[in-house]
Amino acid sequence: MKTVRFLGMTLLMVLCAVNFTACDNDDEVTLDLNSLEGTWILVNSKGWETSSTGSGEKREWNVTFNPDNFTGGNPDDAIGGSQRVIIEKISENKYSFIYGEYTGYDWYQEPMKIAHINGQNIIFENDIYNTSIEYLNNDKLVVKNSYSQGYFSTEYTNTYIKR
C-alpha cells in the first residue's frame, strides 16, 4: 500500500511540475522586411483620440476604404479620402516613407520621411509618434501609432494592402 501511495504522490508531483511550466510568450516577432518595399494603400483605420482642450472627450473611429475607389471616407471621420504610403529601402534597416492622400482627382504627397527599423519599431527621424509594425506579409501591412502629450492622446492602427 505504501508503494502505491508513493507512486501516486510521485505521479502527482510530476503532473504538477508539467502544469506549472510556462511557455515564453514574450518572443519578439521576426519580420521579413523584404516584403516592406512597395506602394501600400490604406484599407482600414481604427483608433481614438482625446480632446486637446482638456475636456477628456474621447473620439473613436473605424473607417474602411475601398482600395479601388480612393474617394471613400467621410468628412466627419478622422480621415477623408484614402491614403497611401510608398516605402523604399535606403540601406540596412533604413527606409524612406512617402505618405499621400487622395484629394479627389490626384494624390497629394507629403515630404519624404526617413526611418530606421529596429525589430517591430519604426523610428522616424524628428517624429513624435511611437510607431510599430503589428503585421507584415507580401500583401498586408498593419501599423500601430500612438502619441500622448498633455491633454492630447491618440492611438490608431492602419491596415494597408500592397498595390
Q: Is residue 5 part of a domain?
A: no
In a domain, 74, yes or no: yes
Does residue 22 lie in a domain region? no
Residue at 28 is within a domain? no
Q: How far is CA 105 from CA 7, 16, 22, 118, in A?
A: 78, 66, 55, 36
Question: What is the count of structural domains for the chain?
Answer: 1
Residue 138 maps to which CATH number?
2.40.128.20
* pLDDT top residue among 147 and 52: 147
Q: What is the pTM of this model?
A: 0.75
Q: How far apart are CA 80 and CA 78, in angstroms?
A: 7
Residues 46-75 have pLDDT tens digits of 999 997 676 778 899 998 888 877 655 544
Q: Please report, for residues 19, 46, 79, 113, the alpha-carbon distance to residue 160 in angstroms, rounded to integers and kept in the order given.
A: 41, 12, 14, 18
pLDDT of residue 68: 79
Query: Which residue would you say has higher pLDDT here, 2 or 139?
Result: 139
Say if 104 falls within a structural domain.
yes
Least confident of 5-19, 27-41, 106-120, 122-136: 5-19
Structural domain harbouring 63: 33-162
Confidence class for position 138, pLDDT limits 50, 70, 90: very high
Contact (CB, 8 A) for 70 and 82: yes
In a domain, 16, yes or no: no
The residue behind cell 516577432 is 29
Q: Specify if 103 maps to a domain.
A: yes
Cα 147 to Cα 51: distance, rounded to the nearest angstrom: 13
Q: Is residue 128 one of the residues assigned to a domain?
A: yes
More confidently predicted of 124 and 26:
124
